[in-house]
Amino acid sequence: MSIQNQHTQLTIGLFGFGVVGEGLYKTLEQTPGLQAQIKKVCIKHGDKPRNAPYDLFTTNASELLNDQEINVIVELIDDADAAYRIVTTALKRKKAVVSANKKMIAEHIAELILLQETYGAPFLYEAACCASIPVIRNLEEYYDNDLLHSISGIVNGSTNYILTRVFDDKIGFDAALQQAQAEGFAESNPALDVEGTDAVNKLSILLTHAYGIIVPPGEILHTGIQNLSASDAIYAKEKGYVIKLVAQCRKLNNGAIASFVLPQYITNGNQLYNVKNEYNGVVIESNLADKQFFYGKGAGGFPTASAVLSDLSALRYNYRYEYKKLKFQTPPKQADDFYLQLGVSAAEIATIPVHLFDQILEWSSDEHSSRIKGIIHYSKLTETNWWKQAGISVILYPDGILDNFEPKYASIKERKIYGSETFVS
The distance of Cα 396 from the centroid of its chain, to the nearest Å, equals 17
| Number of Cα atoms under 13 Å in the Cβ half of residue 358 | 18
Question: Closest separation between CB of residue 98 and ligand HSE, Å?
Answer: 15
Q: Choose the binding region for ligand HSE from 152-160, 228-236, 359-367, 384-392 (rule: CB under 6 A).
A: 152-160
Q: Give buried/exposed letters for 360-371 (b at 16+ CB in 10 A, else e).
A: bbebeeeeebbb
Sole window of 7-15, 171-179, 180-188, 319-327 interacting with ligand HSE (rule: CB under 6 A): 180-188
Q: CA 304, CA 42: separation in Å to the nearest integer?
A: 19
The one-letter code for the residue type at 132 is S
Q: Report CA 195 to chain centroid distance, whole Å.
A: 12
| Cβ-proximal residues to 165 (8 Å cutoff; 6+ apart), any chain | 171, 175, 176, 179, 277
By CB under 6 A, tell whether 298 contacts ligand HSE.
yes
Does residue 241 bind ligand HSE (CB under 6 A)? no
Question: How near is the Cβ of 190 to ligand HSE at its closest, in Å?
Answer: 8
Annotation says 416 is catalytic: no
Report in angstroms how near the CB of residue 365 gets to ligand HSE at its nearest: 35
Q: Which is nearer to ligand HSE, 185 or 294 (CB)?
A: 185
Which listed range, 83-91, 155-163, 310-318, 376-384, lies at the site for ligand HSE (CB under 6 A)? 155-163
Burial status of residue 319 (CB atoms within 10 A of its CB: 0-12, 13-18, 19 or more): middle
Residue from 28, 106, 131, 228 that binds ligand HSE (CB under 6 A)? 131
Query: Would the CA dihedral through 297, 156, 108, 381 be positive or negative?
Result: positive
C-alpha span between 2 and 77 (Å, rounded): 25
Residues 123 and 92: beta-carbon distance below 8 Å: no
Indicate which residue of 40, 102, 103, 202 is catalytic. 202
Residue with smaller CB distance to ligand HSE, 10 or 135: 135
List the 72-75 sheet strands across, edge first: 57-58, 36-42, 10-15, 72-75, 96-99, 123-124
Q: Residue 186: name the closest of 46, 304, 306 by CA.
A: 304
Query: Which 194-223 positions form the footprint of ligand HSE (CB under 6 A)?
Result: 198
Q: Which stretch binds ligand HSE (CB under 6 A): 62-70, 71-79, 182-190, 373-381?
A: 182-190
Question: Minimum distance between the CB of residue 119 and ligand HSE, rounded to whole angstroms?
Answer: 27
C-beta closer to ligand HSE: residue 107 or 187: 187
Nearest to 8 by CA among 69, 52, 88: 69
Closer CB to ligand HSE, residue 78 or residue 403? Answer: 78
CB 100 to ligand HSE: min, Å = 7
116 binds ligand HSE (CB under 6 A): no
Q: Which stretch binds ligand HSE (CB under 6 A): 162-170, 181-189, 259-267, 320-328?
A: 181-189
We find the least distance from the C-beta atom of residue 70 to ligand HSE, in angstroms, to be 25
Amino acid at 232: D
Q: Quote the DSSP letter at residue 353.
A: -
Among 22, 126, 193, 195, binds ligand HSE (CB under 6 A): 193
Task: Compute CA distances 10 → 35, 69, 79, 112, 132, whole Å.
Answer: 6, 9, 25, 22, 21
Q: How many residues bind ligand HSE (CB under 6 A)?
A: 11
Residue 132 or 341 with smaller CB distance to ligand HSE:
132
Q: CB-based burial of residue 45 (10 Å sphere; 0-12 exposed, 13-18 middle, 19+ buried)?
A: exposed
Position among 27, 71, 101, 156 found at the interface with ligand HSE (CB under 6 A) = 156
Contact flag: residue 126 with ligand HSE (CB under 6 A): no
CB of 191 to ligand HSE, least distance (A): 11
Q: Which residues pair with 357 in a beta bridge?
A: 376
Stretch binding ligand HSE (CB under 6 A), from 91-99, 186-194, 233-241, 415-423: 186-194
The residue from 23, 157, 212, 217 that contacts ligand HSE (CB under 6 A) is 157
Q: Least distance to ligand HSE from the beta carbon of 188, Å?
A: 9
The residue ranges of DSSP E strands in 224-300, in sequence order, are: 242-251, 257-266, 279-286, 290-297
User: Which listed residue (143, 185, 211, 235) binds ligand HSE by CB under 6 A?
Assistant: 185
Residue 150: closest CA among 24, 248, 254: 248
> Nearest residue by C-beta to ligand HSE?
158
Residues that bind ligand HSE (CB under 6 A): 131, 156-158, 185-187, 193, 198, 298-299
Q: Active-site residues: which are they?
A: 202
